[in-house]
Amino acid sequence: MRPASVFTSERIDHLFNDPEILNKRLFLYWGDLTDSSNLNRILEKVNPDEIYNLAAQSHVKVSFDIPEYTAEVDALGTIRFLDAIREVGLKPKFYQASTSELYGKVAEIPQDENTPFYPRSPYAVAKLYAYWIVVNYREAYNLFASNGILFNHESPRRGKTFVTRKIVRSAINIKRGIEDKLLIGNLNAKRDWGYAPEYVDAMWRILQQDVAEDFVIATGETHTVREFCDLSFKEVGYEIIWDGEGENEKGFDKTSGKLLVEVSPQYFRPTEVDLLIGNPKKAKEKLGWEPKVKFEELVKIMMDAELK
């Protein structure tokens, strides 16, 4: 856990507050990827079999505002971790949270493990370093270290500033009369959105292999942010009629004419990733992994959870 003066355990409170789990099956340590000495200490103390490095400044838009910090954590944090493993002399299996953002301005459609990278944000550039340092440590020191190149994966636990959760929350708040309208960025961006629990299962499978390799984890479907709005608002009884283009696009409720969605350039990124769609063929063949939850069901899961 990152040391902080406020509570940040919201997403694990159900585990944290269970006396059968906390300090029996779940042990927490303070730590931060910007601090090598504590990484060494934790590693020596825990001597883990498997490490999942999911720690990051993971917001793409935010990375344009804090690029140096993003590199510090996402790029150098990964080498700190790998080097701590080497220094302590342990041989845990290491999973690196690589990302479809590496493909950025995509060189081919769909993207797979052989598609060249073209990162389009400080976040993606930092993750590019992390990707290659994992490959390098695997080859140089024979570490079991693998990259999972995961496409967007969502769930009710998604942070509130990422687009899926933001849309879902707004649709419900507007319906309940506690929010006026949804202000959104690029409606045309296309993403391959999957269901996070299934992606965690894939991460685990990646580390159960005999040989460390890199894998694309994706659904193989792509949808626009606009479609995500359509389906979410439909769940609470709105049918959106879109009008205008680009910065001037707006979405109105078909029945009442109420303004529901308005584009606001403050959410545009200096460089955007327009289209992501992954090909999870290798994961299917080697990991026996296949996504079950597709786009429509994902929206429903998130809306149901938020309504509760």
Q: Does 299 bind ligand F7E (CB under 6 A)?
A: no
Q: Does 269 bind ligand F7E (CB under 6 A)?
A: yes
What residues numbered 65-124 form the site for ligand F7E, per CB under 6 A? 99-101
What residues numbered 168-197 form the site for ligand F7E, per CB under 6 A? 184-186, 189, 191
Query: Nearer to ligand F7E by C-beta: 92 or 232?
Result: 232
Q: At its nearest, how many Å lie between ligand F7E and the CB of residue 53?
A: 13
Query: Nearer to ligand F7E by C-beta: 186 or 207?
Result: 186
What residues numbered 214-243 form the site for ligand F7E, per CB under 6 A? 225
Residue with tokens 């990375």: 63
Asked if 84 contacts 43 with a C-beta cutoff of 8 angstroms, the reply is: yes
Angle between helical axes of 295-307 and 163-175 (0-180°, round to 10): 50
User: For the CA atoms of 294, 299, 305, 308, what is the dihedral angle to 10 degrees?
Assistant: -140
**Rounded Cα distance, 237 and 216, in Å:** 36
Query: Nearer to ligand F7E by C-beta: 42 or 66?
Result: 66
Query: Nearer to ligand F7E by C-beta: 43 or 233?
Result: 233
Q: Catalytic: which of 95, 123, 199, 238?
A: 123
70 is catalytic: no
Here the tokens at position 189 are 């961006």
Helix (H, G, I), strand (E, B) or coil at 216: strand
Asked if 232 contacts 149 with a C-beta cutoff of 8 angstroms, the reply is: no
- Using the contact rule CB under 6 A, the part of the chain among 46-54, 214-222, 264-272, 293-301 near ligand F7E is 264-272
Q: At its nearest, how many Å lie between ligand F7E and the CB of residue 260?
A: 14
Query: Nearer to ligand F7E by C-beta: 92 or 222?
Result: 222
123 is catalytic: yes
Using CA atoms, how far residue 272 sits from 5, 149, 160, in Å, is 34, 19, 20
Q: Which of 58, 78, 96, 147 binds ligand F7E (CB under 6 A)?
A: 58
Longest pairwise C-alpha distance within the chain = 66
- Using the contact rule CB under 6 A, the part of the chain among 107-115, 129-137, 156-164, 198-206 near ligand F7E is 156-164
Here the tokens at position 183 are 């202000």
Query: Nearer to ligand F7E by C-beta: 84 or 233?
Result: 233
Asked if 272 contacts 265 with a C-beta cutoff of 8 angstroms, the reply is: no
Residue 190 has a CB neighbour count (10 Å cut-off) of 18
Pairing mode, if any, of strands 250-253 and 259-263? antiparallel
52 is catalytic: no
Query: Nearer to ligand F7E by C-beta: 43 or 302?
Result: 302
Which of 38, 120, 129 has the alpha carbon at shortest distance from 84?
A: 38
Q: At its nearest, how many Å lie between ligand F7E and the CB of residue 68?
A: 18
Helix (H, G, I), strand (E, B) or coil at 81: helix
Q: Which amino acid is at 280?
A: P
Q: Does 267 bind ligand F7E (CB under 6 A)?
A: yes
Q: Catalytic: which of 70, 78, 101, 235?
A: 101
Q: Which of 2, 161, 284, 304 binds ligand F7E (CB under 6 A)?
A: 161
Angle at the Cα of 216 from the Cα atoms of 205 and 120, rounded to 5 degrees: 135
**Rounded Cα distance, 186 and 229, in Å:** 12
Task: Give the total of residues touching ligand F7E (CB under 6 A).
Answer: 23
| Interface with ligand F7E (CB under 6 A) | 58, 60-61, 99-101, 151-152, 161-164, 166, 184-186, 189, 191, 225, 267, 269, 272-273
Catalytic positions, written as ranges: 99, 101, 123
